[in-house]
Structures are given as structure tokens and as C-alpha cells.
């Protein structure tokens, strides 16, 4: 059995959904279909999820909702119209979207989650109706009915491991194609909680693990995963094969084509993931699996970059002799509910790198005050606008000369490196770069490691 997830770009209008129908018809193993909300029809368009966020804000502010409500309903109407669906098929969708405005929620965060989730939920209902209309026996399945229970975090939920058993029971041995909305589940009290943005990939991976699928197919709008973001490097090379570890690092560091958290269920269940193009489904795409054949000339599989990081820099002489120093620092962050991403350290210096979106000006003031009073640093700075640039490849750690080639190529691009994290992961090296310089660094690394392979590797050394 295969689980096929279709992203917003594959479901943006009737013509795209026709391609989805053809894909489902062409392989009877595709039994579970996970759908996103309708995405952008062209660059200047707005995703339905973003329209729903606006809708929720308009409701909260007590403003006139007619315009935004109609805009959302029209997206579904246009799709239904393309397939000549009867009005009765659209009624529950119109009702669902209209009802949101008057529903009462335990808090603003749950309200926003329910609005966002309505994008995928109504699309799944509509697509199940279209499948049936096109003689594909299909049924819409609510994440609540199938047992997709998640942690109680309205906009960044995680699957509860105990869900897998119920999901396996409810999803296997169905005679019809199951159409499941991506992006959300329910907490144990029955409230909608979404995954983070792009999280329909996560739903697909969870269901694939639950049913021990032979493959998790992730259909999108590119022929493969490229060795660098095509919005940064023109015409990058396609990647045929990646390991789970490589993909996890690349998606964490900015390969937005596949959600980084979606790798976890795939890794746990050893489910091969294939990223394919809905517009060219006969192309092989990129296979992500536990192992891959290592080509010794390919030191680096991909180069990713992600902006939006902040460094908290601390210098404290004899930090290395102080028992519990780092613990004290991390306790301050934990108390303020801040998680960290990286923590490179020297003898007297330490930088904690966090996602900038966790900070508010008030929190920053609080961090400053707590660190000054608890730690008494000799120097202390909060530095914004970091971008993490990462080179990723199996065996990178063991190839003598990789770091030298990487730093030389960043230098040749005229970029200075603010931070390096090498050795923590056996498959990646991370460079902290000023955001204004990040694209130049990515291009430089791409030219060295991907465009002009093979690079000179002096030897391979393992422990
Ligand atoms: N390394 C990469 N390879 C391929 N696509 C990438 C890469 N990095 C970023 N992307 C972007 O990811 C997009 C696909 O992801 P997304 O927009 O979330 O699709 P979907 O709507 O199918 O979920 C591509 O159109 C591309 O712009
Ligand atoms: N619609 C949600 C979830 C998602 O995964 O969408 P997409 O498949 O279009 O990236 C979002 O925009 O975040």
C-alpha cells in the first residue's frame, strides 16, 4: 500500500486536480491520499491557508467578513465547477467555512488552528466527492475518526505515539480510497491542533508509518529535490537519492520542499519517501531511504540555507572551570520557554543560536536582565540576522579536505564566516553567515561541491 500526499501546488485548481486523479487511477496501490489546502495558482496568488488566517483575524477584530469569506468559498466553488459537481457536494463546504465565524473556541490559539485546518479539511471533502464523481470509490476520513491524536500545542503539534495503533486499525482493510486532510490532528480534548506550516507532509508520513506503507509518495511541483534551492541557485542539479539523515538535515536547514519533521515517522517506520512532480509523474523524482549507494566523488549531496536565527553571545573568563555554567544559562532560556538550535563554545566564549521568531523585544530585555544578574558575563551580545548555511553528505566527516574546500569557496565568494558547527553531526557542516551574504555563500559552495565535482579529497579517515 502506498500513501500519496499532494501539496497545495498540486491542488490549486481543477486542472491540477485532474492530474491528481490520473495519478491515483494509474496505480491501484495508492490507497491513502493526503491533501493540502488549495495553493497558489500563480506567483501573485494567495494560498487558501493564508486566506483563512486573514479570515480568522477579521473575525477577531469584529470587522466585515463578507469579502474574505466569499474569496475562500470561491476557491472551492471554482474547483467544484471545473468537475461539474452537483450543488449538494459544495453545501457542507460552504457551511463549514461560514460556521467558523460564529463558533466558540477555548482560546484564540485554538480558534486560529481551526481556521487554518479548515483549508485541508474542506479540500479533502471536496476531493473525495470529485473522486466518486470520476468513478474512483473514495471516502473522506476525519483525522478524529481515524485517531490522529496530537499534543496540545495549537500551532505546532506533534503526533502522540499512542495514536499509531488506532490509525493502523482504522486505515487498513478499507475498500475505498481514503482521502485524509493533512496538516492537523486533535488533542485529547477534541480540539484541532495543526502541525507547523507545511505540515501536510507530516500527516502523510504519520499515516505511511501507521500502515507500514511500501512507499510514501510526496507529490509537489518540482521534478526532484535539487542540490540547492532553485530560488537561490539557477538550474541546480537534481538529486536521485538521499538518505534519511541527509534529508532531515537539508529540510531542517531550508529545503522547504519537504517538512523536516515529516522525516521522523518515515525514519521510525523505515518507509521509503519519494518526492515526485504532479506535472511529470513518470519522472523518477528523488528517493529518500535509510541507505544509499555512496558515490565517492560526491562528497556533498546538497547545500541548504535558512535565515531567521539570533545568536546570544557570552564571554566569561574561566567558563570552562565553572561547574554547571551552561546548565544555569539553559535554565534561564527554559524558564522563558525558549528552545535553542546550536551551541558552539570555546574556552571562555559560548554562542547560543535560537530561532529569532521566538523573541519579542520584551523577552530580549528579560534575557539580558537574567543573564546579567545570574551569569555576570565579561561580554554579552544579542546578534540578529544570522543565516545557517549547511553542506550535507554521508561521510562528510571522514573526507579529509572537505572543510578546507568549503571555507575556501566561502572566502572566494567574499563572505566571512561568523560561526562553524562541525563534528556534532557526521553528515553535515553548518556555517553561521550574515543573512545579507548567505546567497553568495550558497552559490560559492554549490560551484565548488556540486557544479565542479569531483573536488580533491586527500584521504578518508574513520574512527
Ligand atoms: N532543494 C530544493 N529542491 C526542490 N525544491 C525546493 C528546494 N528548496 C526549496 N524548494 C522549493 O520548494 C517548493 C515545493 O514545496 P512547496 O511549495 O511546499 O510545495 P507543495 O505545494 O507541493 O507542498 C518548490 O517549488 C521550490 O521552490
Ligand atoms: N496548507 C498548509 C499545510 C501544507 O502542508 O501546505 P503545502 O502542502 O501547500 O505546503 C500550509 O500552507 O502551511
**pLDDT for the residue 126:** 97
237 in Cβ contact with 296 (< 8 Å)? no
For residues 22 and 152, membership in a common domain is answered with: yes
Residue 178 sits in a domain whose CATH number is 3.40.1160.10
As for the ipTM of the complex, it is 0.98
430 in Cβ contact with 212 (< 8 Å)? no
Total structural domains in the chain? 2
Q: Which atom of ligand 1 is nearest to 226's Cα?
A: 3
Q: What is the pLDDT of residues 315-343, one digit of tens each?
A: 999 988 888 889 999 999 999 999 999 89
For residues 159 and 219, membership in a common domain is answered with: yes
Q: Which atom of ligand 1 is nearest to 255's Cα?
A: 8
**pLDDT for the residue 428:** 94
Mark which of 289, 317, 332 sits at the end of a domain.
289
Query: 116: pLDDT confidence band, cut at 50, 70 and 90?
Result: very high
For residues 209 and 326, membership in a common domain is answered with: no
Query: 299: pLDDT confidence band, cut at 50, 70 and 90?
Result: confident
**pLDDT for the residue 432:** 93
Q: For residue 115, report the distance from its CA to the centre of ligand 2, in Å.
A: 13
Q: For residue 386, report the distance from its CA to the centre of ligand 1, in Å.
A: 22
Q: For residue 329, report the distance from its CA to the centre of ligand 1, in Å.
A: 37
User: With the C-alpha atoms ordered 345, 346, 347, 352, is the resulting torsion angle positive or negative?
Assistant: negative
Could you list the residue range(s) of the whole structural domain that residue 161 is in? 2-289
For residues 90 and 236, membership in a common domain is answered with: yes
The yes-or-no verdict on residue 376 having pLDDT over 80 is yes
Which of 153, 132, 145, 59 lies closest to 97 in space, CA to CA?
A: 59
Query: 453: pLDDT confidence band, cut at 50, 70 and 90?
Result: low
Residue 330 sits in a domain whose CATH number is 3.30.2130.10
Helix 108-133 crosses helix 14-25 at what angle (to 10 degrees)? 60
For residues 320 and 273, membership in a common domain is answered with: no
Q: What DSSP character marks residue 462?
A: -
Residue 351: CB atoms within 10 A of its CB come to 22
Q: Please state the length of the chain.
A: 463
C-beta contacts of 65-73 below 8 A and 24+ residues apart: 65/101, 69/97, 69/98, 69/101, 72/48, 72/97, 73/97, 73/98
Give the whole-number percent of the chain exceeding pLDDT 70: 98
Determine the Cα–Cα distance for residues 453 and 289; give it in Å rounded to an integer: 23
229 in Cβ contact with 389 (< 8 Å)? no
Q: What is the pLDDT of residues 42-68, one digit of tens each?
A: 999 999 999 999 999 999 999 999 999
Q: What DSSP character marks residue 449?
A: I
Q: Which atom of ligand 2 is nearest to 37's Cα?
A: 1
Where in 7-53 does DSSP place strands (E)?
30-35
Mark which of 231, 264, 289 sits at the end of a domain.
289
For residues 251 and 349, membership in a common domain is answered with: no
59 found inside a domain: yes
182 found inside a domain: yes
294 found inside a domain: no
For residues 334 and 309, membership in a common domain is answered with: yes
Q: Which atom of ligand 2 is nearest to 47's Cα?
A: 12
Whole-model pTM?
A: 0.92
Query: 434: pLDDT confidence band, cut at 50, 70 and 90?
Result: very high
Determine the Cα–Cα distance for residues 127 and 200; give it in Å rounded to an integer: 15
For residues 350 and 272, membership in a common domain is answered with: no
For residues 406 and 277, membership in a common domain is answered with: no
435 found inside a domain: yes
For residues 352 and 384, membership in a common domain is answered with: yes
297 found inside a domain: no
For residues 324 and 415, membership in a common domain is answered with: yes
Mark which of 289, 322, 338 sits at the end of a domain.
289
Query: 397: pLDDT confidence band, cut at 50, 70 and 90?
Result: confident
* Ligand 1, pocket-test mutation among 36, 257, 439, most atoms within 8 A of CB: 257
The yes-or-no verdict on residue 457 having pLDDT over 80 is no
Q: Is 165 helix (H, G, I), strand (E, B) or coil?
A: helix
Q: What is the DSSP string of 277-344?
A: ETTSTTS--EEEES--PPPTT---SEEEEEEEEEEEEEE-TTGGGSTTHHHHHHHHHHHTT---SB--
For residues 243 and 201, membership in a common domain is answered with: yes
397 in Cβ contact with 355 (< 8 Å)? no
410 found inside a domain: yes
Q: Is 4 helix (H, G, I), strand (E, B) or coil?
A: strand
Burial per residue of 189-228, b for 16 or more beta-carbon CB atoms within 10 angstroms, e otherwise: eebbbbbeebbbbbbbbbbbbbbebebbbbbbbbbbbbbb
234 found inside a domain: yes
**pLDDT for the residue 459:** 63
**pLDDT for the residue 193:** 98
80 found inside a domain: yes
Amino acid at each position: 500500500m502506498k500513501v500519496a500526499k499532494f501539496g497545495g501546488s498540486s491542488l490549486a485548481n481543477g486542472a491540477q486536480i485532474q492530474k491528481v486523479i490520473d495519478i491515483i487511477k494509474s496505480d491501484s496501490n495508492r490507497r491513502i491520499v493526503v491533501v493540502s489546502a488549495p495553493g497558489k495558482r500563480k506567483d501573485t496568488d494567495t494560498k487558501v491557508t493564508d486566506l483563512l488566517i486573514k479570515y480568522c483575524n477579521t473575525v477577531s477584530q469584529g470587522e466585515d467578513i463578507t469579502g474574505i469569506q466569499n474569496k475562500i468559498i470561491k476557491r472551492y466553488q471554482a474547483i467544484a465547477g471545473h468537475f461539474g459537481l452537483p450543488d449538494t457536494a459544495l453545501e457542507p463546504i460552504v457551511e463549514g467555512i461560514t460556521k467558523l465565524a460564529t463558533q466558540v473556541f477555548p482560546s484564540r490559539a485554538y480558534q486560529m488552528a481551526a481556521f487554518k485546518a479548515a483549508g485541508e479539511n474542506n479540500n479533502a471533502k471536496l476531493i473525495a466527492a470529485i473522486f466518486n464523481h470520476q468513478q474512483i470509490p473514495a471516502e473522506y476520513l476525519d483525522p478524529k475518526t481515524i485517531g490522529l491524536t496530537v499534543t496540545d500545542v495549537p500551532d505546532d503539534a506533534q503526533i502522540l505515539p499512542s495514536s499509531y495503533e488506532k490509525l493502523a486499525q482504522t486505515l487498513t482493510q478499507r475498500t475505498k480510497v481514503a482521502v485524509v486532510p493533512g496538516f492537523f490532528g486533535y488533542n485529547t480534548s477534541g480540539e484541532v491542533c495543526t502541525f507547523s506550516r507545511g505540515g501536510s507532509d507530516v500527516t502523510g508520513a504519520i499515516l505511511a508509518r501507521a500502515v507500514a506503507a511500501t512507499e510514501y509518495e510526496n507529490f509537489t511541483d518540482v521534478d526532484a529535490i535539487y542540490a540547492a534551492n532553485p530560488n537561490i541557485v539557477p538550474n541546480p542539479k537534481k538529486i536521485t537519492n538521499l538518505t534519511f539523515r541527509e534529508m532531515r538535515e537539508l529540510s531542517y536547514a531550508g529545503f522547504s520542499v519537504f517538512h523536516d519533521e515529516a522525516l521522523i515517522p518515515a525514519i521510525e517506520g523505515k518507509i521509503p519517501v519519494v518526492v515526485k512532480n504532479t506535472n511529470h509523474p513518470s519522472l523518477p523524482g528523488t528517493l529518500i531511504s535509510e541507505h544509499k549507494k555512496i558515490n565517492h566523488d560526491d562528497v556533498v549531496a546538497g547545500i541548504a540555507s535558512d535565515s531567521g536565527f539570533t545568536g546570544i553571545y557570552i564571554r566569561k573568563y574561566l567558563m570552562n572551570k565553572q561547574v554547571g555554567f551552561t546548565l544555569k544559562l539553559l535554565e534561564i532560556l527554559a524558564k522563558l520557554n525558549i528552545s535553542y538550535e546550536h551551541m558552539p563554545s570555546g574556552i571562555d566564549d559560548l554562542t547560543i543560536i535560537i530561532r529569532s521568531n521566538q523573541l519579542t523585544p520584551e523577552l530580549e530585555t528579560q534575557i539580558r536582565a537574567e543573564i546579567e544578574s545570574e551569569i555576570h558575563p565579561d561580554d554579552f551580545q544579542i546578534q540578529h540576522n544570522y543565516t545557517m548555511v549547511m553542506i550535507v553528505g554521508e561521510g562528510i566527516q571522514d573526507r579529509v579536505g572537505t572543510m578546507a574546500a568549503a571555507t575556501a569557496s566561502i572566502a572566494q565568494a567574499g563572505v566571512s564566516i561568523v560561526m562553524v558547527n562541525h563534528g556534532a553531526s557526521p553528515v553535515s557542516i553548518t556555517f553561521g553567515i550574515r543573512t545579507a551574504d548567505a546567497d553568495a555563500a550558497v552559490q560559492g559552495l554549490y560551484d565548488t561541491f556540486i557544479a565542479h565535482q569531483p573536488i580533491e579529497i586527500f584521504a578518508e579517515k574513520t574512527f
